C-alpha cells in the first residue's frame, strides 16, 4: 500500500489519524478523531451568515451581502476595518479579475460580485482595472493582464467531481478542462499550477446562500435539494474553504436523508489538494474556522 | 456540438426530406448514422397532454455533451454514449418539461447508465424506471431517457408519465440486461444496489477503492457490483478479455491492496473486516467489508456456481 498521498487506497483511509480525518471529509468510513502530534500548519476560514440576506423570491440583498463580505474579510485578516483588510490584499497598481460562475441553475449572485468590486475599489483598485467573467476568462483583456484574482462561486454537489466549489472554479483558465476530469477530477488542484493563475488568487468566496446538497438527472439539479443557508465562506486557502463547505453539505445530507449518505463520487480532489498537491489544508482539524452572524441550523 | 435541427413542423418535413436525399447519396456509414439520428427524433412525442414542443431539437455528441451538462458528461462517456437529443415542451401557465433521449450504443450500457445513479422506485415504464426528485428516468433498448418538469405538480407528473410511456412504446425493442449481472447472487442482495460498469472511476463512484486503477479496469472490461446484507458486504465481479488479463489484475490488486494475503488472496484488513479476491477463468471475484473469512468464501462460492450454471 502506498501511504504518501500520491496514490491512496481505501485501507489508507481506514487506518491512521491523518487519513481518517481526511476520510471524514470525503464522507468515507474512517474514524474521526483529533490528530496527535504537531499541527504545523493551519488555515483560517470565516463563515458568515445572515438571516435576511435573501428576499422571499430568493434574490440576494445587495446591502446585506456587502455587510457580510465586509465583516467576513475584516475577521479573516483580523483588522479594525474592512478597508484595511482589502488594502492588505490589493492596491492601486492591481488589475483584478473576479472569477465568477454562470452555471444556469445556481450562478454566483450579482450581489456578491458587486460587493467584491466595491471592496476592491475601497482598496484603491481602479474600477476600469476590474472585471468579472467565467467562461470567457482566457479572452478577457483584464483577465489576461490581471495581477490578481478573486475566486467566487456557489457550492454544489457535482456529478463528476463530487462537489463544485472554489477549487474547481478556475477550470476555465485552461482551454482543455476535460484534461482534468480523469479519476473523478482527482487532480483538480493542478489547475492552480497554471502560470496564468499560480499565486494570483488572493481571496476565495464560496457562496452558501442556497447550496445544492444532492443532484438528480443529467444536469444534476433540482431546487428540492437546495436550501436557504444564507452563508458565505471566505478564505485565502481554497482547499480549506471547500473542505468547510463540504462539511456543511454532508451535515445537510445527514439531516435531510436521516442517514449517512456520502456524496458520490467522493470529493477526493479536496483531499488530494492537501496530501498530493500541497495547495492548502483540507483536514477539518487543521482549519481555524471563525463563525459570524446567524447561528440557527449552522450545521458545522 | 449543439445542433439546432428542427423548428416549425412544416420545416421539419422539408428538412427531413433534404437530409434523407443527402444521405441516400452518401456512404453507407453516414447513411446508417443519419438514419439512426432520424429515428431518435421520431421517438419524441409531438405533444404531451397540452404541452407543445418549444424551439428546436438540441443534439450533443461525445464531445459536445460537456457543453450541455458541464463536467458531468463524463458519466455518460464512461459508457458507449453516442449522442443525446433534447427537446423542451411548454404550456401556458405551466412549468416547462424537458425530455432527453440518450443513445447509449447498446442495451447493456443503457442499463448501466440508468443504474449508475438509480435510487429505486419503479415507475412502471420501459425496461426499468424510477421517479425520484421530480425526475422520471428509464432505459429501454439502447436508450436512456429522462423527463424532468421544471416543477413537480400533479399535472406535470402525469404528463411526464404519459410521455415516458409513449416514448417507451415507440422504442419497441426492450433490450437485454448484461449477462454478467445475472451471475450476481440474489439472496440477501440489497435492493437497487446492483450496478454495471467498465471503468475504475465507476468503481470508485460506487465503492471508493483506490485512487489508482489497481484492478486494471478499462473499456474492454465489464464489471458488476452489489451490496449484501447483513453488514453491507460489497461484491464485485469483473470479466476480463482473457484469463491472462484476469490474472494480471489479480496480482496487481494483491500487490497494491492486500500484500499480506499473498497468493491466498484473502485478508482481514481491519478487525472483522475481510477482503478477498479469487479468479475463475476470465473472471475476478472480489469481496469487501465482509465480517468473516467464511462470509467471503460463501459469496465467492455462490458466484462461481452461477458462472458454471
Kindly report the nearest CA distance between residue A214 and chain B, in angstroms.
Answer: 10
**What's the CATH number of domain B179-308, 3.40.1000, 2.30.30, 1.20.272, 1.10.3470?**
3.40.1000
Q: Where are the domains of chain A?
A: 10-293
pLDDT band at A13; cut points 50, 70, 90:
confident
In chain B, what percentage of residues exceed pLDDT 90?
72
Interface test with chain B among A31, A217, A256, A273, by most B beta carbons within 10 Å: A217
Please state, for a pLDDT cut of 70, what percent of chain B lies above it.
87
- 8 Å CB contact between A77 and A125: no
**Record: fold of A10-293:** Rossmann fold (3.40.50)
pLDDT value at A27 more than 50: yes
Q: What are the residues of chain A with a beta carbon less than 8 Å away from any beta carbon of chain B?
A: 1-2, 7-11, 13-15, 26, 28, 103, 158-161, 171, 177-178, 181-186, 214, 216-220, 222, 224-225, 264-266, 268, 272
Exposed, middle or buried: residue B24 (CB in 10 Å: 0-12, 13-18, 19+)? exposed
CA atoms within 13 A on the CB side of A17: 10
Q: A164 - beta bridge partners?
A: A156
What region does B125 belong to: left with phi over 0, alpha with psi -120 to 50, or beta?
Answer: beta
Higher pLDDT, A47 or A40: A47
* CA–CA separation, A293 and A249 (whole Å): 19
CATH class of B9-171: alpha beta
Q: Grade residue A159 by pLDDT with cuts at 50, 70 and 90.
A: confident
User: pLDDT tens digit string along B90-144?
Assistant: 999 999 999 999 999 999 999 999 998 788 878 999 999 999 878 899 999 999 9
* SS3 call for A163: strand
What are the pLDDT digits (tens) for B185-233? 999 999 989 999 999 989 988 998 998 899 999 999 999 999 999 889 9
pLDDT tens-digit profile of A78-98? Answer: 999 999 999 999 999 999 999
CATH 3.40.1000 domain span(s) along chain B = 9-171, 179-308
As a whole-number percent, the residues of chain A with pLDDT over 90 amount to 72
pLDDT reported for residue A298: 97
Helices A110-122 and A82-89, interaxial angle, to 10°? 80
Burial class of B172 by CB neighbour count within 10 A (0 to 12, 13 to 18, 19+): exposed
Q: What is the pLDDT of residue A30?
A: 53
Q: What long-range pairs does B291-296 form, CB within 8 A, spacing at least 24?
A: B291/B231, B291/B233, B293/B266, B293/B268, B295/B231, B295/B233, B296/B266
CB contact under 8 A, B257 and A9: yes
What's residue B71's pLDDT?
63
Are the beta carbons of B144 and B137 closer than 8 angstroms? yes
Of B68, B200, B257, the CB nearest to A1: B257
Which one of A9, A214, A225 has the shortest CB-CB distance to B256? A9
- Give dist(CA A148, CA A196) in Å, integer: 10
Task: List the single residue in A with minimal CA-CA distance to B137.
Answer: A217
Q: Which residue has the cell 464489471?
A: B223
Question: Is this complex's ipTM strictly greater than 0.85?
Answer: no
pTM: 0.76
pLDDT in tens, B37-96: 448 999 999 999 999 999 999 999 998 888 787 667 888 989 999 999 999 999 999 999
- Beta-carbon contacts of A145 under 8 Å, excluding residues fewer than 6 positions away, are A95
Contact B245, B216 (CB under 8 A): yes
pLDDT, residue A6, reads: 59
- Span of B9-13, B276-280, B289-293 with lowest mean pLDDT: B9-13
Amino acid at each position: 500500500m502506498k501511504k504518501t498521498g500520491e496514490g491512496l487506497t481505501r485501507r489508507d483511509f481506514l487506518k491512521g489519524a491523518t487519513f481518517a480525518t481526511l476520510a471524514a471529509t470525503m464522507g468515507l468510513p474512517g474514524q474521526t478523531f483529533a490528530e496527535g502530534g504537531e499541527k504545523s500548519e493551519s488555515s483560517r476560514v470565516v463563515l458568515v451568515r445572515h438571516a435576511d440576506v435573501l428576499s422571499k423570491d430568493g434574490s440576494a440583498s445587495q446591502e446585506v451581502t456587502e455587510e457580510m463580505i465586509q465583516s467576513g474579510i475584516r475577521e479573516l485578516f483580523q483588522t479594525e476595518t474592512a478597508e484595511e483588510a482589502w488594502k492588505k490584499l490589493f492596491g492601486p497598481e492591481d488589475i483584478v479579475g473576479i472569477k465568477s460562475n454562470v452555471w444556469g441553475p445556481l450562478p454566483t449572485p450579482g450581489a456578491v460580485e458587486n460587493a467584491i468590486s466595491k471592496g476592491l475599489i475601497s482598496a484603491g483598485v481602479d474600477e476600469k482595472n476590474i472585471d468579472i467573467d467565467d467562461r470567457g476568462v482566457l479572452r478577457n483583456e483584464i483577465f489576461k493582464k490581471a495581477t490578481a484574482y478573486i475566486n467566487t462561486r456557489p457550492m454544489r454537489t457535482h456529478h463528476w467531481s463530487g462537489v463544485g466549489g472554489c477549487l474547481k472554479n478556475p477550470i476555465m483558465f485552461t482551454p482543455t478542462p476535460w484534461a482534468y476530469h480523469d479519476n473523478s477530477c482527482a487532480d483538480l488542484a493542478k489547475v492552480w499550477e497554471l502560470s496564468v493563475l499560480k499565486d494570483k488568487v488572493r481571496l476565495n468566496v464560496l457562496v452558501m446562500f442556497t447550496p445544492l446538497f444532492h443532484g438528480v438527472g443529467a444536469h444534476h439539479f433540482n431546487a428540492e435539494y437546495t436550501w436557504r443557508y444564507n452563508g458565505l465562506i471566505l478564505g485565502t486557502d481554497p482547499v480549506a474553504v471547500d473542505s468547510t463547505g463540504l462539511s456543511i453539505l454532508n451535515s445537510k445530507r445527514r439531516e435531510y436523508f436521516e442517514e449517512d449518505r456520502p456524496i458520490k463520487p467522493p470529493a477526493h480532489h479536496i483531499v488530494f489538494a492537501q496530501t498530493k498537491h500541497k495547495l492548502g489544508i483540507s483536514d477539518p482539524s487543521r482549519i481555524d474556522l471563525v463563525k459570524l452572524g446567524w447561528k440557527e441550523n449552522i450545521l458545522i | 456540438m449543439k445542433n439546432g435541427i428542427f423548428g416549425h413542423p412544416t420545416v421539419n418535413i422539408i428538412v427531413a426530406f433534404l437530409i434523407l436525399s443527402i444521405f441516400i447519396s452518401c456512404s453507407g456509414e453516414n447513411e446508417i448514422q443519419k438514419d439512426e439520428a432520424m429515428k431518435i427524433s421520431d421517438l419524441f412525442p409531438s405533444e404531451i397532454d397540452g404541452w407543445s414542443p418549444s424551439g428546436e431539437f438540441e443534439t450533443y455528441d461525445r464531445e459536445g455533451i460537456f457543453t450541455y451538462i458541464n463536467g458531468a458528461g463524463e458519466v455518460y462517456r464512461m459508457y458507449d454514449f453516442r449522442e443525446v437529443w433534447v427537446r423542451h415542451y411548454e404550456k401556458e401557465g405551466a412549468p416547462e418539461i424537458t425530455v432527453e433521449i440518450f443513445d447509449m450504443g447498446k442495451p447493456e450500457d443503457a442499463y448501466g447508465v440508468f443504474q449508475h445513479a438509480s435510487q429505486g422506485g419503479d415507475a412502471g415504464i420501459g425496461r426499468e424506471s424510477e421517479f425520484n426528485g421530480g425526475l422520471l428516468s428509464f432505459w429501454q433498448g439502447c436508450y436512456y431517457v429522462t423527463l424532468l418538469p421544471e416543477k413537480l405538480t400533479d399535472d406535470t407528473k402525469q404528463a411526464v408519465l404519459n410521455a415516458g410511456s409513449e416514448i417507451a412504446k415507440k422504442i419497441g425493442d426492450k433490450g437485454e440486461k448484461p449477462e454478467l449481472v445475472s451471475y450476481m447472487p440474489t439472496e440477501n442482495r440489497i435492493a437497487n444496489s446492483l450496478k454495471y460498469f467498465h471503468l475504475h472511476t465507476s468503481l470508485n463512484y460506487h465503492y471508493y477503492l483506490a485512487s489508482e486503477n489497481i484492478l486494471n479496469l478499462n473499456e474492454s472490461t465489464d464489471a458488476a457490483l452489489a451490496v449484501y446484507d447483513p453488514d453491507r458486504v460489497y461484491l464485485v465481479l469483473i470479466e476480463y478479455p482473457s484469463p491472462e488479463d484476469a490474472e494480471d489484475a489479480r496480482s496487481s490488486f494483491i500487490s497494491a491492496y492486500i500484500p499480506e494475503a499473498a497468493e491466498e488472496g484473502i485478508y482481514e484488513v481491519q478487525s472483522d473486516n475481510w477482503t478477498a479476491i479469487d479468479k475463475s477463468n476470465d473472471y475476478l471475484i472480489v469481496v469487501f467489508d465482509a465480517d468473516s473469512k467464511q462470509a467471503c468464501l460463501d459469496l465467492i462460492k455462490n458466484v462461481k456456481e452461477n458462472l458454471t450454471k
